[in-house]
Amino acid sequence: MKKLFFTLIILTVAVNCLAVTSRIIRHKSANDFSDGKTKDTVVNSRGNITLAWATQVLAQDFNNVWIINSIIKGDDGTVYLGTSPNGKIYTYKDEKTNCIYPVQNQKIETEEPDDPNDPNAPKPGPAQKHLQNLHVFKLAFDSYGRPMAGISGDKAGLVRFNGREFETLFEPEPNDASYIFAVELDNAGNIFLGTGPKGNIWQLDKKGTNPTLIYTCKDKNVLCLAMGNDGFLYAGTDTRGLVYKVDPKKKTASILYDSDEDEITDLVFDDKGQLYAAATSYKSIKAQLKKTDFTPAVFSAGRPESEDDTEESESKTTSVTIPNSGSEDQPKETPKPPDSLKRGRQSSASQIYKIDPNGFVTKVFSQSAVFFALYIHKDDILLGTGNEAQMFSINPQTEIETLIYEDESASQITDIISADKDVYFCTANPAKLILLKSNYADSGTFESTLIDAGQPAQWGKLQLDADIPDKTKIMLSARSGNVDDVNDQTFSNWTEPVKITTPIDLTVPLGRFCQYKLTLEGSQDKTPFIREVAAAFAIPNLAPKVITVTVERKNKKADPGIFKIDFYAEDKNADKLTYKIEFRKTGRTGWIELEDELDKENFEWDSKTVEDGSYEIKVTASDELGNSQDTKLTGSRISDPVIVDNTPPVVDKHKLQTSDDKAVLELKVKDIYSVVDSLSYSVDSNEKWVSALPQDNIFDTLEEDFTITVTDLKPGPHVLAVKIADAENNTMYKTFDIDIK
């Protein structure tokens, strides 16, 4: 295998400056690609993009048929289709469809008139009324290769086609069965039927005679049957979601597995004798009313080893790779787990279970969808679901899951069968027969979701980690815009597709958002194989921004006069920042530097070095460490005014009067910047301080009036001491002499 190694390091994308934010966005997981748009391409659970398998609608003109329930294919290439609601059976061969049941001489016109109120419309006869309530839920071949059909409705029956007409093999009593959901044969050709609504399992011999009831389940309906090589019949039921292991000879049964889901809708064995069961939750039907995109159900680190890991391709293949750029190139975002990881734990998810010959059960696949049909194709399990008509491919060995088909018009994929190397499958609402080919589509596209640079950016190169076999290629187109809407008309036009052989320039205009489109072109059995996509962009240097600046006293009592300055800044280019701290008195124009080239986002300022007053603090952030003198930028923010008050209040006026044993002191106290906050006094003591309130009983202004009355003074001299503090805990003391006669 020839390998060509690319190098994409966005060498600081040319933006005539030294400091730009260069980033590489990598898409490499299923989650990364899940919001992209695929057309004839698929994304598997490992995040690999390839061409989808080619499909072809073979037939869709089925008169008054809404649902194709079951399909089988004969050795001569004839495909038989069992339908609802009118219980018809069609054949498809040589690009033609033909209704073979009911045959023309067995029925009156079954189609309802265009206008049921039309008096001239034909009246329905007995046969028409009967056929309108019939369903063909299951088709199968008997051991002689003759098609059989389980007819359900008002009356159930097993019929067989002999090439000319249908003969009835078995009609259970209406009280015993109204529905035949499953038809299965053993190695001897015996025929087994799974019926409802009484949960009966019947056995007929290889000729379709001697019907025998071999088991009755407690569940209402037996929805599916599978015959094991061990001679046991395995049955899936509804309501309780059970898998039964039935012994046809002894007419006994045991519970092989009790699932958490409501229905076992299909059972299938692989060539190793492992049984796969499709289990559907009723809640998944409601969940499907809201559209949910596929993401892988298996999500675990690493991957199991497979044969592909040791095999080398003999064909000529060009491999392109992405060099390691380190984790620093990735945006600092917390990765989200795939939706399916969360969805698998919800009761609305349906499951595929693998049950080995020893009865050990493991979960293989989980999805919020209604599971209808399982089919083993080569090493993969094909799963048909609704109500979005999706087909998944699941490889139990490699744990690779892929949404390989999604129908734009139908609601369900109801059955899947082999068509030599290809696969037939059918849909419901509307009814279609479709061929899934074994070769890839000739071409397909993948459109990415929008890549957000966060700011208008110059977009660099796109590169791939991919294998490109000979005679295949990958083409790149791209566009950009400044609004988070891919349908916005202001987006640039898609660039002309360019073949990818080396890293490719995203030649799009400057824009915050970019979208790429990859066109894959293949050849029959070869497809390009994309493992990873990396897109590069650069944002020109942007000025840092100081978001907040707060200034508060650190501790009034322990550190009087010390202010703590805290701030927070951000830089869109992720440059390392340094800070300058400046101050000025409110009303002045010049700034005085406190600190420069500070590398942390806090600073302590001793305000005792300045006079009291109102001050502003300015913080300036600079990105000069990551830029040249020509490209460095700064951003600043000014704090709210802060009061510097290191001076205590003063006694503006006072008046002291004495009489007998009483002294009365009147005070007017003032402070320039802070509220007068407290006053206490003592008489002839340094310890016994008594608090006093202002005359209006509230400390709330710069000026307060006090009246202090002291009684029971003994004759002689006394000292009245007063302690006054403002809101900043600036405190002053003053004494007054008292002489009692």
pLDDT beyond 90 at 602 = yes
Q: How far apart are CA 704 and CA 692, in angstroms?
A: 11
pLDDT tens digits for range 662-691: 999 999 999 999 999 999 999 998 788 999
E strands, 592-715, are 592-598, 602-606, 613-622, 634-638, 642-644, 650-659, 662-670, 676-683, 690-691, 703-710
Q: Dump pLDDT digits (tens) for 423-462.
A: 999 999 999 999 999 999 999 999 999 999 988 999 999 9
Q: Is 19 exposed, middle or buried (0-12, 13-18, 19+ CB in 10 A)?
A: buried
Q: Between the CA atoms of 686, 688, 690 and 691, what dihedral angle is there, to the nearest 10 degrees? A: 70
Question: What global pTM score does this model have?
Answer: 0.71
CA 681 to CA 656: how far, in whole Å? 14
Q: Return the pLDDT at 714.
A: 92
Residue 220, judged by CB atoms within 10 A of its CB (0-12, 13-18, 19+), counts as: middle
pLDDT category at 286 given cuts 50, 70, 90 is low
The CA–CA distances, whole Å, from 713 to 72, 357, 707 equal 120, 108, 17
Given phi > 0 = left and psi -120 to 50 = alpha, else beta, which region is 145?
A: left
Can you give the pLDDT at residue 711? 93
**Number of helical H runs and strand E runs in the chain:** 4, 55
Q: What domains appear along the chain, each with residue ranges and CATH number? A: 1-50+305-332+441-540 (2.60.120), 545-644 (2.60.40.10), 650-740 (2.60.40.650)
Would the pLDDT of 260 be above 80?
yes
Look at strands 451-469 and 511-521 and give their pairing: antiparallel
**Calpha distance 347→345 (Å, rounded):** 7
- Per-chain mean pLDDT for the chain: 87
Average pLDDT over residues 515-520: 98
pLDDT bin (cut points 50, 70, 90) of residue 344 is very low
Q: Are 689 and 614 in contact (CB under 8 A)?
A: no
Q: List Cα–Cα distances, 413 to 41, 374, 390, in angstroms.
A: 19, 10, 7
Instruction: Write down the pLDDT at residue 687.
Output: 82
Cα–Cα dist 257/274, whole Å: 14
Classify the phi-psi angles of 241: left when phi > 0, otherwise alpha if psi is within -120 to 50, otherwise beta: left
Q: Which two tokens stand for residue 166?
A: 């249908």
Please indicate whether residue 327 or residue 544 has the higher confidence score (pLDDT).
544
Judge whether residue 346 has pLDDT over 50.
Answer: no
For residue 559, the model assigns a pLDDT of 83
Question: In sequence order, what DSSP letters do the residues of 426-446 get, joined into one string?
Answer: EEETTTEEEEEEEEE-SEEEE
pLDDT at 510 over 80: yes
Residue 294 confidence (pLDDT): 45
The CA distance from 641 to 615, in Å, is 5
pLDDT at 124 over 70: no
pLDDT for residue 560: 84
Identity of residue 631: T
Q: State the pLDDT at residue 332.
A: 41
Predicted confidence (pLDDT) at residue 139 exceeds the cutoff of 70: yes
**Residue entry with tokens 């001050």:** 615
Q: Are 649 and 730 in contact (CB under 8 A)?
A: yes
User: What does the pLDDT average to over 244-248?
Assistant: 97
pLDDT, mean of residues 23-49? 94
Q: Which helix (H) or strand (E) holds 561?
A: strand 559-570
Sign of CA dihedral 260, 264, 268, 273: positive
pLDDT (tens digit per residue) in 315-343: 577 777 776 665 444 444 434 434 433 33
What average pLDDT does this structure show over 512-527? Answer: 94
63: Cα separation from own chain's centroid? 41
DSSP for 25-56 reads: EEE-SHHHHTTSEEESEEEBTT--EEEPEEEE
Name the one residue in this structure whose structure tokens are 């088909």. Answer: 405
Contacts of 233 (CB under 8 A, 6+ apart): 184, 186, 192, 201, 225, 226, 227, 245, 246, 247, 248
Cα torsion 207, 213, 214, 217: sign: positive
Read off the pLDDT band of 532 (50, 70, 90).
very high
Q: Exposure of 332 by Cβ count < 10 A (0-12 exposed, 13-18 middle, 19+ buried)?
A: exposed
Query: pLDDT: is 314 or 373 the higher one?
Result: 373
Per-residue confidence (pLDDT) for residue 696, from 0 to 100: 93
Question: What is the pLDDT, as a whole number, of residue 365?
Answer: 96
Q: What is the pLDDT of residue 647?
A: 93
Q: What is the bridge-based pairing of β-strands 350-355 and 222-227?
A: unpaired
Is the torsion defined by CA of 281, 286, 287, 289 positive or negative?
positive
More confident residue, 557 or 173: 173
Q: Residue 636 above 80 pLDDT?
A: yes
3-state secondary structure of 130: helix
Element (H, E) at 319: strand 317-320
What is the predicted pLDDT for the residue at 125? 38
What is the distance between the alpha carbons of residues 430 and 83, in angstroms, rounded to a whole number? Answer: 11
Task: Tell me how far apart the alpha carbons of residues 65 and 57 are, in angstroms, rounded to a whole number.
Answer: 16
Q: Which whole-number Å values give the CA distances from 398 to 319, 580, 685, in the listed order?
A: 22, 59, 91
The pLDDT assigned to 281 comes to: 86
> What's CA 475's distance to the chain center, in Å?
28
CB-count exposure of residue 180 (10 Å: 0-12, 13-18, 19+): buried
Spatial distance between the Cα atoms of 8 and 465, rounded to a whole number of angstroms = 11
Kind plus residue range of the DSSP H or E element containing 341? helix 339-343
Half-sphere exposure of 207 (CA within 13 A, CB side): 2
pLDDT value, residue 295: 44
Give the largest Cα separation in the chain, rounded.
144
Q: Please report the pLDDT score of residue 174 as a whole number.
A: 85
Q: Which residues contact 213 (CB under 8 A, 6 or more apart)?
A: 176, 200, 201, 202
